[in-house]
Structure 1
Amino acid sequence: MKNICLVFSLMVILLGSCAKDYLEKFPLTSPTESTAFQTYDNFKSYMYPCYGMFTDGTILTSVTAGFPENAQYRGDYYANYLTFKGTSQQNPYAWQTVADAVSGNGWDFTYIRRINIMLDHINDGNLSVDERNHWKAVGYFFYCYWYMELVNRFGNIPWVNTTLGTSSELAYGPRVDRLVVTDSILARLKWAEANIGNFSSQDGGNTINKNCILAVISRFTLREATWRKYHALGDYNNYLKECASASKELMAIYPTLYTGTDGSPASGYGEMWTTESLEGIPGVILYKEYFANTNYYCNSSYIEHTSSHYVEMPQHTVDMYLSQNGLPIHNVANTTYAGDKTPYSTFRNRDPRLYQTVMPPFKVSGTPGDAPGWSYTADPADREYIDIMGANLSCSNPGIGMKRLPSQNWSATVLGSVPNFSDGTSSDTKAFVSCRSGYYVWKYYDQWETSFNNSPLNTSDKPVFKIDEVLLNYAECMWEMGQFTQGVADETINKLRDRAAVAHMIVASIGADFDPDGDQSVDPVLWEIRRERMVELMGEGFGFDDVRRWNKAAWYINRQDYGMWVKKSAITGNLLNMNTKQADNTGMTEGYRFLYNDPVKSGKGWLDKYYLYQVPTNEIALNPALDQNEGW
């Protein structure tokens, strides 16, 4: 079913017939708080706008219909997992260019007010006890989903659990301690879990249910437990237990992963974001639906076919992907890593999730830009990844399938080769699918959706909650509880690796020297669990929240961004002098593509005040009882 997007327009529908009383008459043409909450459908219509949280751009994991770089990709860009193409688009947290927040910054209680109005009227009307409990549980779900993001950004936050008027004392109260707020969030989620009803026949199949609540408990409790642990707040064991319990229950309900249809490596991983309908797809708990012939199109695939897409991956993140044998690229026992001195060798024998996230290299004959005329070159190496990604039905029709090579733009104009290097400046005239690093991110790219210049016509659904994340939550949670065993690895990480055709994690083989490039201050098994999370959820916005809760933001964000190894003749711009980590103009003929200077050597770098967002100064001016987060 594709109903969530359409129901946003139902806000304007009358919320129910007015109750009539001989001594008190209310407006007959428009609902009021006193008349709106009378029937089951009144509550349903009133709560539908809350589904907008899942596309709200202030939440880094949202699945907005707009440019992905303004939503899903941004969380991983902030974490320095990804980078942007422009020469002035350095990571703002590495270069200390985060602007002071006068207003906004995610400080918003609009949804909370809407939900509180509904909860204040939960006993109105003629609902049964089960129906009242159901809508209270749905209200608690959305309330907690929004509040967990407020806490994630600001730490201490006002706790508003009733509708406030302009003269209410609570409206001008102080922030409440994070530990108190998160305990209250967990209590409400647990109540919702126990009391939500099974009303899918009335609400619709793709709506909030118990499994959605369990998914949020899994995410929220892991996030809060590890934040409390690694930021020395204490009292986190119960959160780990709740994460383990909720995750395990969902794992039993969703035992199967989506394995895809097109036969390319890790196609189930890739197709999760490029499938027309996610209804009935294994492992999908809730999804955002997009439609043809309505206003609710998505343009994520379209934009990745154009020159406007500017998300790419730096070399240090490419290096995080394992070889298919399950070993880090610089593990001394890894004999299959082919090095990184050519694009073809960099991708060879690697975790196929790399191919599904970064466009692999290729070259075709013919005049680049011809549409659709092209043919294979005489060199078999040039078609290695064309074949790996899945054969085209014909050289004259490359637009069949999910991810297919050679790449093309929205009009089916074929690109002659990848990497397609750009200089990243405003005067750059490079064609579509270009980037500076050489590693063009194409997570949402496919070749079956309808695209037209400047028109978002894509209709593939996007997952909101899926079992893949829950498996990773459970694995990390079990390590934090001291209970991560080979059995846990097999039911979580190794399930994900089986789908990707990557060798299993063997816990006993992971010692201090397993990954010489890893953060040596992190337990090596935990490092591998975190690596798996990074790879599996790449491009979905989790990165910034993860590196903050681990208290490891500096390690990830202070790394210098540079691109693939290239010959100087292939690019406009500089190569990287590895001795100084600066641009080199002294005659280097080949090297890593220079993107930005080393932020730390340039006197910048992560500031600990960034772990929490700035409370907007306008809010403090309006309410002097609010205090500011440290450092701002």
Structure 2
Amino acid sequence: MKRIFIIPAIIAALYITSCNKSDILDKTSVDSIDADKFFNTATDLQAYTNGFYEMLPTTMVYTDDANSDNIIQLTVSDRVKGARIVPAASSSTVWSWTDLRKINYFLEHYEKCPDEAAKKKYGGIARFFRAFFYYDKIKTYGDVPFYNKVLTANDPDLFKARDSRKLVMDSVLADINYAVANIPKEVQLNQITKYTALLLKARICLFEGAFRKYHALGDHDKFLEEAATAANELITSGAYKLFTTGGVNASYRELFARNDQDATETILARDFSATFTRHGLSYLMVAPTAGVYGIPKDMIDSYLMKDGSRFTDQPDYQTKGFYEEMQNRDPRLTQTTPGPDFTAYKETTREPVNLGITTTGYRVIKALATRDQWGASNSYNDIIIFRYAEALLIMAEAKAELGTLTQTDLDKTINLLRARAGMPNLNLAVANSNPDPYLESWYPNIKLGNAANKGVLLEIRRERRIEMFNEGLRWDDLMRWKEGLKLEKPMVGMYFPGLGAFDFNNDGKADVFLHAGNASGAPAGTTSIINVNQKRLSNTTSGNFNPLYSTPRKFREERDYYYPLPTEDLTLNTNLKQNPYWD
């Protein structure tokens, strides 16, 4: 049976039923009502902490990659273009503190409940969310003020300066450690458990450890070790395993496209249903005027051949036609973007080729649901927030950065992911003896990592980009690796040797026809007729689709790893200082 998140309205209802209308006007504050008549039972604690779940992302999990180098959307985001500006107010930014006040208010009052088990569990959940809150702040702004209390209007700390990253992250680590130690070991698809806390800890610590290492902030090994330890604890718990239903050619797609998640690999999911709440993700993948999502060719080129060799080692990889480049590749490729024989989820008839709904020619089908869900706001497949595969990637990367990675570690992490896809194992010695120059060209700062493990680190990054594609982690990865300049590299799509007709599925019939204003030569039955005057090619009448041909992109190394603080908050609190070069 599916379980839904309890929304804050339930908490409000509980508050309202605890007093009558005449009482409300006699009280000095809402807080005093809550503290007097709430937090007395396990049910009270559960009801209040259920409201914290609204802090978790929903559809943003599957849309944030469109604001990175993983997906080029119809309207290019300001952060990809390098066009972010200092916001006037905090209302549309991450610089909001409302959620923190709710968490701290709970933590100031929940211990009045006599139920010791409930206090441990829900106190742990509250600290999970405070760690989550500050992790988001740190990776967005760097140093921020740390508050572990509810502020009043006269509190001198209300207008204090930022606290150091070290103080904040040490506090985050303390909070998430408390959550891991006190939230029960349960397998619950829609609720925070010890296992969710372990994965959040691993994610936080990998980000912080890598960010400190590549940005030369120091003290990085501590966080990398914590990341590896947390991931390993989750792995060795045996609570989860990789989802393999459907086999190597279907299980990866099935994991995300199915309507209802289960707790095989999925640790935490947002619950959607045709009857109570829907979202619009599938529409973004199929509508010609909505997201028009396209995967860039450098992502397509990164998928290995089926035998484990590198596609980009082939001398003509850049000019292969669509049908040829899709042959004998990692099966996850055609479970992420349509291959020559693409069928809609749960259907058996080959889908007509349609390049008009993608910026690059390479559509996104990861998490594309059944056809009846393709309308605007009509999808109801569950959204994965945390899954077990991420723990495998975190452990491998953290240990590689620390210099402690072994072949045994790879076999219990990366090679399980490859086995799910029917791919050959990653060999530590072979990878390090022959680093991929193609990947190294993306990540020149890899030289700041563990030199002895450069080759395997590049392969882990390949695996992470492929496995976690379209799950909202790519921007953070580029930021922590200090590879923001990757956004300035070419982001193009499919290659075409010239105008004319093209057979995408090798059946002897044209599927695509490119023209420069006159489509009269298109063969009968062609399903995708494209005017290159509108969908530009890099060399006018040949080359790659070039959706960013008129979009300048600039990443300022000295500035753009952090977001700017809102002007309003800098004015209200003169002890706050703007991030460098955002003045």
What is the TM-score normalised by the length of structure 2? 0.84
Query: 1:41 — aligned with what?
Result: 43
Aligned counterparts, 1:489-508, within 5 A: 489-508=410-429
2:221 to 216, 224, 237: 237
Rounded to whole Å, the distance in 1 between the matches of 2:159 and 2:10 is 33
2:531 to 546, 559, 572: 572
Query: 2:472 — aligned with what?
Result: 541
1:260 aligns with 2:245: yes
Which residue type is aligned with residue 55 of structure 2? Answer: M
Rounded to whole Å, the distance in 1 between the matches of 2:278 and 2:305 is 37
Deviation at 1:214, TM superposition (A): 0.6
Aligned counterparts, 1:399-418, within 5 A: 400-401=346-347, 406-407=350-351, 416=352, 418=353
Deviation at 1:8, TM superposition (A): 4.7
Alpha-carbon deviations, 1:471-523, whole Å to 9, x = none? Answer: 00000001011012221111111100111112211222225654231225432
Identify the range of structure 1 (520-529 vs 239-248) with the bigger mean alpha-carbon deviation. Answer: 520-529
Aligned counterparts, 1:415-564, within 5 A: 416=352, 418=353, 420-422=354-356, 434-447=357-370, 450-451=372-373, 453-454=375-376, 456-511=377-432, 513-519=434-440, 521=444, 522=446, 523-554=454-485, 556-564=486-494
| Residue 178 to residue 467, structure 1, CA distance change in 2 (3 Å) | same
| Residue 169 to residue 141, structure 1, CA distance change in 2 (3 Å) | same
Rounded to whole Å, the distance in 1 between the matches of 2:531 and 2:468 is 32
Query: 2:543 — aligned with what?
Result: 591
Rounded to whole Å, the distance in 1 between the matches of 2:252 and 2:239 is 16
Query: 2:298 — aligned with what?
Result: 316
Rounded to whole Å, the distance in 1 between the matches of 2:100 and 2:134 is 8
| Residue 610 to residue 35, structure 1, CA distance change in 2 (3 Å) | same
Q: Conserved in 1, the CA contact under 8 Å of 2:65 and 2:472?
A: yes
1:92 aligns with 2:78: yes
Which residue type is aligned with residue 330 of structure 2? Answer: D
Deviation at 1:217, TM superposition (A): 0.6
Q: Conserved in 1, the CA contact under 8 Å of 2:256 and 2:367?
A: yes
Which residue type is aligned with residue 75 of structure 1? Answer: D
Rounded to whole Å, the distance in 1 between the matches of 2:18 and 2:205 is 42
Deviation at 1:592, TM superposition (A): 1.8
Query: 1:150 — aligned with what?
Result: 137
Rounded to whole Å, the distance in 1 between the matches of 2:337 and 2:544 is 17
Q: How many equivalent pairs are there?
A: 532
Which residue type is aligned with residue 274 of structure 1? Answer: A
Query: 1:196 — aligned with what?
Result: 183
Which residue type is aligned with residue 470 of structure 2? Answer: G
Which residue type is aligned with residue 572 of structure 2? Answer: L
Deviation at 1:255, TM superposition (A): 5.3
Rounded to whole Å, the distance in 2 between the matches of 1:323 and 1:269 is 17
Rounded to whole Å, the distance in 2 between the matches of 1:575 and 1:349 is 32
Alpha-carbon deviations, 1:249-308, whole Å to 9, x = none? Answer: 1112245210123x571x22222222222233x1221111112321x2223234434333
SS of 1:83's partner is coil
Query: 2:196 — aligned with what?
Result: 212
Rounded to whole Å, the distance in 1 between the matches of 2:77 and 2:165 is 28
| Residue 526 to residue 603, structure 1, CA distance change in 2 (3 Å) | closer
| Residue 302 to residue 8, structure 1, CA distance change in 2 (3 Å) | farther
SS of 1:319's partner is helix
Deviation at 1:619, TM superposition (A): 0.9
Deviation at 1:591, TM superposition (A): 2.1
Q: Conserved in 2, the CA contact under 8 Å of 1:330 and 1:516?
A: no
Q: Can you give the 5+ residue segments of structure 1 that lack an aligned partner in the other structure?
A: 56-62, 65-70, 362-384, 390-397, 408-415, 423-433
Alpha-carbon deviations, 1:596-624, whole Å to 9, x = none? Answer: 2497xx68444431101111111101111
1:276 to 259, 276, 284: 259
| Residue 18 to residue 84, structure 1, CA distance change in 2 (3 Å) | closer
Residue identity (%)? 27
Query: 1:354 — aligned with what?
Result: 333
SS of 1:14's partner is helix
Deviation at 1:193, TM superposition (A): 1.6
1:185 aligns with 2:137: no
Deviation at 1:205, TM superposition (A): 6.2
Alpha-carbon deviations, 1:533-568, whole Å to 9, x = none? Answer: 0110001110110010011111x2111122111232
Which residue type is aligned with residue 406 of structure 1? Answer: R
Rounded to whole Å, the distance in 1 between the matches of 2:86 and 2:132 is 26
Alpha-carbon deviations, 1:332-384, whole Å to 9, x = none? Answer: 6x9xx9774321112111112111111223xxxxxxxxxxxxxxxxxxxxxxx
Rounded to whole Å, the distance in 1 between the matches of 2:171 and 2:38 is 28
Query: 1:329 — aligned with what?
Result: 311
Q: Conserved in 1, the CA contact under 8 Å of 2:259 and 2:382?
A: yes
SS of 1:610's partner is coil
Q: Conserved in 1, the CA contact under 8 Å of 2:124 and 2:183?
A: yes
SS of 2:256's partner is coil
| Residue 358 to residue 606, structure 1, CA distance change in 2 (3 Å) | farther
Deviation at 1:123, TM superposition (A): 2.4
Q: Conserved in 2, the CA contact under 8 Å of 1:43 and 1:135?
A: yes
SS of 1:464's partner is strand
Q: Conserved in 2, the CA contact under 8 Å of 1:304 and 1:444?
A: no
1:83 to 72, 75, 78: 72
Alpha-carbon deviations, 1:563-586, whole Å to 9, x = none? Answer: 111232413226999xxxx9434x
Rounded to whole Å, the distance in 1 between the matches of 2:568 and 2:270 is 34
Rounded to whole Å, the distance in 2 between the matches of 1:236 and 1:515 is 26
Q: Conserved in 2, the CA contact under 8 Å of 1:16 and 1:37?
A: no
What is the TM-score normalised by the length of structure 1? 0.78
Rounded to whole Å, the distance in 1 between the matches of 2:56 and 2:64 is 15
1:72 aligns with 2:66: no
Rounded to whole Å, the distance in 1 between the matches of 2:553 and 2:362 is 28
SS of 2:34's partner is coil
| Residue 465 to residue 614, structure 1, CA distance change in 2 (3 Å) | same
Rounded to whole Å, the distance in 1 between the matches of 2:553 and 2:3 is 51
User: Going by fraction, where is helix more abundant, 1 or 2?
Assistant: 2
Rounded to whole Å, the distance in 1 between the matches of 2:273 and 2:76 is 36
Rounded to whole Å, the distance in 1 between the matches of 2:186 and 2:458 is 42
Deviation at 1:196, TM superposition (A): 2.5
| Residue 118 to residue 505, structure 1, CA distance change in 2 (3 Å) | same
| Residue 76 to residue 5, structure 1, CA distance change in 2 (3 Å) | same
| Residue 36 to residue 94, structure 1, CA distance change in 2 (3 Å) | closer
